[in-house]
Amino acid sequence: MNQKKPVQSTARRAFATLAAALAFTAAGALSAFSPAAHADALDNIAKTGTVRIGVFMDYPPFGSIGPDMKPMGYDIDVANLIGKALNAKVELVQVTGDNRMAYLADHKADMLLSVGQTPEREKVIDFSQPYAPYYLAVFGPKALTVKNAADLAGKSISVARGTLEDLSVSKIAPPTANIKRFDDPNGAISAFISGQVQLMVVGNDVGATILARHPANDPEQKFSLFSSPDHVGLNKNEPRLKQKIDETIARARSDGTMNAISQKWLRAPLPADL
């Protein structure tokens, strides 16, 4: 996720988007002169027997390096699911928030995982149907009954100042809610774990990590706020590959595989409205 993904400056995000857009424009110009310049990605994957999937390795629980020094996480399981569906060996390509769009444009990766869909990105890449939930949520101890915004009345809530978490909960909280703002996410999380506040608002990725590491606090997710689910990001003009990925995701959601992955890594069922 947080903001959802590793933090980038506005300038870096704009530069990465511009670089990717220029790469796609150049590719389109070349294809106009050479009909054979564009090779179908699905055919290439079948020919090489390998699919290259861009993932974050510093973004638990979606992707990280485990104690055995092997990649682990939600996206790693999904990458393996996709590889099996394509009958191809999975080559995990480690990416960062700064370079991943360029990696896709330069065909260093056949696809990217954990991509939020935005109007700006839609101009540059295509998206699969969503495969993983990402949202901001209110977390608190099981003993405390909080089911909706009205239940925040009279409760103390920690957030990182000026973040999407802060803005989202400030919009819905009753006037009597005590929103305590901290300089950074770690401060907001520490306040909750130490009992300085009753509730906190974080991304479901951060929340899952807290649920796993601090059972003594007996925390649980209360209700969700802002939502921006994860998609597989693909190069433009790859309809066959996009269809295959969509079919794989739909089948995994239908047969319960994706829900099991969500329960395993996010400690929550796959939302029905994903």
For residues 243 and 111, membership in a common domain is answered with yes
Same domain, 184 and 117: no
Q: Which residues of 104-127 are buried (b: 16+ CB within 10 A; e: fewer)?
A: bbeeebbbbbbbbbeeebeebbbb
State whether 93 and 187 are in the same domain: no
In a domain, 274, yes or no: no
Q: What ranges make up the beta strands (E) of the chain? A: 50-55, 64-65, 71-72, 89-94, 111-116, 125-127, 135-141, 156-160, 178-182, 199-203, 219-227, 230-235
Residues 75 and 175 in one domain: no
Examine the domain organization and report whether 116 and 241 are in the same domain.
yes
Check which CATH number belongs to the domain holding 253 and give it: 3.40.190.10
Residues 176 and 102 in one domain: no
Indicate if 58 and 148 belong to the same structural domain. Answer: no
Tell whether 92 and 157 lie within a shared domain.
no
Type of residue found at 21: A
In a domain, 2, yes or no: no
pTM exceeds 0.85 for this model: no
pLDDT of res. 43: 95
Provide the residue range defining the domain that includes 155.
135-227
Same domain, 96 and 149: no
Classify residue 272: in a domain, yes or no. no
- Residue-level pLDDT at 17: 44
**How far, in Å, CA of 265 to CA of 207, rounded?**
11
Number of domains comprising the chain: 2
Same domain, residue pair 65 and 105:
yes
* pLDDT value, residue 38: 53
Q: Per-residue confidence of the chain (274 residues) as pLDDT tens digits?
A: 444 444 333 333 443 444 444 444 444 443 444 344 456 899 999 999 999 999 999 888 999 999 999 999 999 999 999 999 999 999 999 998 889 999 999 999 999 999 999 898 999 999 999 999 999 999 999 999 999 999 999 999 999 998 889 999 999 999 999 999 998 888 999 999 999 999 999 998 888 888 878 766 688 999 999 888 999 999 999 999 999 999 999 999 999 999 999 999 998 899 888 8
